[in-house]
Amino acid sequence: MNNIEIPSYERGLLVVDDEMEIIKSLRRQFMRTFKVYIANSAAEGLEILKSNSIQVIISDQRMPEMTGSEFFAKAKERYPDAMRLLLTGYADINAVIQAINDGNIFRYVMKPWNPVELDTIVQEAFEKYELIIQNRFLVEQLANQNAQLEDRVLVRTKEVEDANSLKDKFVSLVAHDLRGPLAAIINSLEQLTASRQSETLDQNSNTIISSLIDTGNNMLHMVETLLNINRLKTGKIQLSISFFSAHAMVDRVITNYGLSAKQKGITIENRLSPADQMYGDTTLLGEVVGNFVSNAIKFCHSGDTILIDYEREGENSRLTVEDSGTGISKEAIQTLFKIEEKTSTIGTLGEKGTGFGLPYCMDLVNAHKGEIQVTSTVGEGSRFSLILALPKPTILLASQSESSQAAIQACATSLDAHLVMVKTLQDVRVWLAENRMNLLIVEDNVVEENLTSFESLNPKGGEVRTIILTSSDDFDVRLFSLGAYDFITQPTDKKELLARVTHLVG
């Protein structure tokens, strides 16, 4: 810091006093060290400041027309960096105190002054000025360096993004080009084993063909996983977020993997209740849970059990897949979700994997802003937990009827849902621009005001689930083609209303 070079300058000292003897005395004292400028009045001093580089000013307090403290106030406004020293007598002490409080002077010197003491004070004033300039120079240098660094970071970031984009395109092209030929080879081999020609082959040949089919299917699965990872990272996989039955999702997973478990003599138990819910993309999260179950089957022996459980933790849901298989070492757990690490391990019956499944699962869960936790003991089994936020469902009601508002409010209370009430479709549009909801309920008289506006909210039956409340038997069936999901005739039975809303919110 002390070696920083700042722009050089000539040290300029301005002496302002209405007494020429004092001016001459101060000039003699400092002329060998500094370039001394003299002024016989405050007005003359301000003129000198306009056209010269002055770092330190010495001024008398008692001068006609303008006092020293008044002069310094003007000098500070125009030349704030200049150090200001005030010459004063005891009678002017109140004015000095005021000048100090206003920040207009650096130091004051009592008359008559001690030349050695004044020398020291003036030198300190120049050092103070140089410190201010040096700090400003350093700040400017730092700002420039930060700007240059930011530019370099932006350039480097763009280079990395371009490289990643090129890599993603390469992976996508290679995987896509591999998928077709692999599928064709597998299909040909399967047709061969299913045809009468297989009867003419010996047992060894049939074993080789079966092994080729298994290897091909494993490679095809690896290619599909690579494509999915690439699609997710490039934004080609869009999440379809909603509340869904976790119990039903687990049932589907068990159906998909039940045969594999049965062939190994492994039991899978769904311990969830039908009321257990999760919030996210049910298809993609089903892939995550399916991967957990598939790995559990892979590392279990005949007679082992896989338990799938659920619990609510505050505003989160936790779904766990726990097995009594071979377990995972602490070292292996650290690399399970790193795609750059080869983590695939042979199963209890020699099953092979790609090593891409769990990294893909982590990408899916990260896209949901969720978490995967793993605990395991070698020889005792493993526990994989999927943790996701479980917010309150939101119902948006567009109604001008107090009775409808009261009925839907009762439903929302029963479901522990958040209810937002508006009066027009324009209000709905404004709210949806910045918020997400799970169910839209609209009165038919609100919709009939502008059918086109309603269609644009939910074109061709999109993701927004909508219930139309109608008090007329002559329901406009066009609303179904414009995006309505269901309708309820009013007045309606409270239990029926709750059942309909519960079904659609879930």
User: Which comes out higher in pLDDT, residue 127 or 224?
Assistant: 127
Which of 14-28, 120-134, 194-208, 470-484 comes out lowest in average pLDDT?
Answer: 470-484
Domain co-membership, 250 together with 383: yes
CATH of the domain at 36: 3.40.50.2300
The answer to whether position 425 is within a domain reads yes
Domain co-membership, 332 together with 433: no
Task: Look at residue 73 in the predicted model and tell me its pLDDT.
Answer: 87
Give the contacts of 490 (CB within 8 A, at least 6 positions apart).
403, 404, 469, 470, 471
Q: Which residue, 209, 233, 257, sits at the end of a domain?
A: 233
Domain co-membership, 327 together with 424: no
Scan for tokens 């309909």, then name that residue: 500
Domain co-membership, 248 together with 381: yes
Domain co-membership, 248 together with 288: yes
49 confidence band (pLDDT: 50, 70, 90): very high
Do the strands 466-470 and 486-489 form a parallel or antiparallel pair, or are they unpaired? parallel
Task: Look at residue 1 in the predicted model and tell me its pLDDT.
Answer: 43
Question: Which tokens in the block code for residue 469?
Answer: 């409340």
Q: Which residue, 337, 357, 389, sits at the end of a domain?
A: 389
Domain co-membership, 308 together with 367: yes
Give the contacts of 286 (CB within 8 A, at least 6 positions apart).
249, 252, 253
The answer to whether position 283 is within a domain reads yes
Domain co-membership, 265 together with 379: yes
The answer to whether position 275 is within a domain reads yes
Q: Which residue, 328, 359, 389, sits at the end of a domain?
A: 389
Residue 311 has pLDDT above 60, yes or no: yes
The order of strands in the sheet holding 35-39 is 35-39, 12-16, 56-60, 83-88, 107-110
The answer to whether position 310 is within a domain reads yes
CATH of the domain at 263: 3.30.565.10
Q: Which is nearest to 309 in space by CA: 392, 382, 385?
A: 385
The tens digit of pLDDT for each residue in 231-281 reads 666 666 677 788 888 999 999 999 988 888 999 999 999 999 988 889 888
The answer to whether position 286 is within a domain reads yes
H or E element, residue 141: helix 115-194
**Total of domains in the chain:** 4
Domain co-membership, 360 together with 465: no
The answer to whether position 252 is within a domain reads yes
Q: Whole domain around residue 96: which residue ranges? A: 12-113
Domain co-membership, 450 together with 383: no
Q: What percent of the chain has pLDDT over 70?
A: 79
Computed over its alpha carbons, how large is the radius of gyration of the chain? Answer: 41
75-84, 210-219, 443-452: range with highest mean pLDDT: 75-84
Beta bridge partners of 190: none
User: Which comes out higher in pLDDT, residue 116 or 185?
Assistant: 116
Domain co-membership, 337 together with 453: no
The answer to whether position 486 is within a domain reads yes
pTM: 0.53
